[in-house]
Amino acid sequence: MAAAIEPALPELAREIVAAIQREVPEYAGPLLGDFGRGILTGVEQALGRFLAEGTRGETDGGRIYHALGRGEYRSGRSLDALQAAYRVGARVAWRRVSRLAEESGVPVAAQHDLAEAIFVYIDQLAAESVEGYADAQAAEAGSLRRRREELLRLLLAHPPHPPAAIEEAGARAGWRLARQVAIVAVPPDAAARVARRLSGDVLHAADEIHGYLVVPEPAGLGAELTAAARRYGVAVGLGPTVPLAEAARSWRWAELAGRRASPGTVSEAQNELAQLVFEASPDIVAALRDRALAALDGETEASRARLEATLLAWLRHCGAQAVVAAELGVHPQTVRYRLRRLREAFGSALEDPDARFALELALRAGR
């Protein structure tokens, strides 16, 4: 059969291409340039490869069908047109080959085997094109993801990049620059999942320590974030809504707020500004605690905890001992005893407004 079919291959290839142009609208126009050569070469290679199964040409031909699939994706078409072309090609090829087989006296049973082989082979070619299409799709998605991650890094940089650089990066990333944004801090392994739960075209990226989300025009963001935090059991920090040029500030606040969030909750920076002061400079806070509370260094751990709680409550309630006792759940006499010990430890500092302010900061930071 191969000897009978091989001389007819060039004419059969042209016949198949003509049939594809007639029956598949996407290929109805002239097959010009690389695309046209690719289609014709693909048909010729397919026929030759079928006749020389298992030769070197099989590997070389596979690249052509893989490339056809990539080309379809890059041209903006779906795989439907190429799959239809394969079906047309199989039908035309079988019509010609069956005639040649009959003229060559090939038994009917062998012709049936030949028909099955042709259609199985066409399925193989189609699978190679599907793989090429998927590879091109994945490559473009990866490239777009990298461009969007680069845009996110530019937005969060400090000092900020020039607006022209941001606009150019936004165009490359296919991201429409928003008037206002809010930055969200999440664990790095949750960035993509949380981003999918939010409205709008959310930028997201992650490194080994942080997950970053840039949410455009974030009206109603709090409720969506709360639902995502609960769904995935992650701690979320939400920065303030700011102009795009101030995204780095929103990120810094979001990261600080995220340190205070517990799994499944959202900490909104705008609602915790006083507490974020402690998170912003932990080394300064640690030094403040060491210095302000040095008078309690000689206490046992349990005793120190009781005295610190009593002192903080006393400072918060301006010395109202009955209120302090109620808050701590102890007898007023116990409060008076502890206050005597505190006065012995701190002396005149408890009468100095600045010292009391430093003590309360140190105690709140510890909590």
What crossing angle do the helices spanning 273-280 and 282-292 adopt, rounded to 10°? Answer: 90
pTM for this predicted structure: 0.56
Q: Give the span between the Cα atoms of 280 and 256, in whole angstroms.
A: 7
Residue position matching structure tokens 């990298």: 146
* Residue-level pLDDT at 261: 92
The domain ranges of the chain are 2-140, 178-277, 282-366
Residue-wise over 320-353: b if at least 16 C-beta within 10 A, else e? ebebbbebbebeeeebeebbebbeebbeebbeee
Find the range with the poorest average confidence among 43-47, 213-217, 263-267: 43-47
pLDDT of residue 293: 94
Reported as type and span, the H/E element at residue 267 is strand 266-268
Is 57 a residue whose pLDDT tops 60? no
pLDDT mean over 134-159: 83
The tens digit of pLDDT for each residue in 167-195 reads: 999 998 889 999 999 999 999 999 999 99
Amino acid identity at 234 = V
Determine which of 60-69, 248-257, 338-347, 358-367 has the lowest per-residue pLDDT on average: 60-69
Instruction: Identify whether the C-beta of residue 243 lies closer than 8 Å to the C-beta of residue 250.
Output: no
Residue 332 has pLDDT above 70, yes or no: yes
CATH 1.10.10 fits 178-277, yes or no: no
Residue with tokens 């409060």: 335
Q: Which residue has the higher pLDDT, 338 or 82?
A: 338
Q: Tell me the Cα Rg of the chain.
A: 36
Distances (CA, A) of 324 to 45, 81, 114, 340: 90, 79, 95, 14
**Class of the CATH domain delimited by 2-140:** mainly alpha
Rounded to 5°, angle at Cα 210 from 227 and 155: 95
Phi-psi region of 158 (alpha: psi -120 to 50; beta: other; left: phi over 0): beta
How many C-beta neighbours within 10 Å does residue 177 have? 16
The full DSSP string for 142-200 is HHHHHHHHHHHHHHH-SSPPPHHHHHHHHHHHT-PPPSEEEEEEE-GGGHHHHHHTSSS
What local confidence, expressed as pLDDT, does residue 327 receive? 94
* 2-140 matches 178-277 in fold: no
Label residue 141 by pLDDT band (50, 70, 90).
low
Mean pLDDT of the chain: 86
Question: Which of 32-36, 178-182, 275-279, 303-307 has the weakest average pLDDT?
Answer: 32-36
Predicted confidence at residue 41, as pLDDT, reads: 66
Cis (ω within 30 of 0) for the bond into 332?
no
Share of the chain above pLDDT 90, in %: 46
Question: With bands split at pLDDT 50, 70 and 90, how would you rate the model's confidence at 59?
Answer: very low
pLDDT at 2: 72
pLDDT band at 34 (very low <50, low <70, confident <90, very high): low
Please work out, in degrees rounded to the nearest 5, the angle formed at the alpha carbon of residue 194 by the alpha carbons of 188 and 259: 50
At residue 127's C-alpha, the angle toward residues 126 and 128, to 5°, is: 90
Report the C-alpha gap between 194 and 300 in whole angstroms.
Answer: 45
Q: What's the mean pLDDT in 297-308?
A: 94
The values of phi and psi at residue 242, to 5°, are -140, 160
- Lowest-confidence segment of 61-70, 220-229, 260-269 by average pLDDT: 61-70
Lowest mean pLDDT among 64-73, 306-315, 325-334: 64-73
pLDDT recorded at residue 236: 96
Q: What is the pLDDT of residue 155?
A: 93
| The listed CATH number (3.40.50.2300, 1.10.1420.10, 1.10.10.2840, 3.50.50.60) that belongs to domain 282-366 | 1.10.10.2840
Q: Which two tokens stand for residue 136?
A: 């091109």
Model confidence pLDDT, tens digit, residues 97-132 = 888 888 878 788 887 887 888 888 888 888 888 888
Q: Give the C-alpha separation, 91 to 40, whole Å.
A: 17
Say whether pLDDT at 58 is over 60: no
- Its sign, for the CA torsion 199, 202, 205, 206, is negative
The DSSP call for residue 265 is: -
Average pLDDT over residues 296-301: 94
pLDDT (mean) for 358-366? 88
**Helix (H/G/I), strand (E/B), else coil: 242:** strand
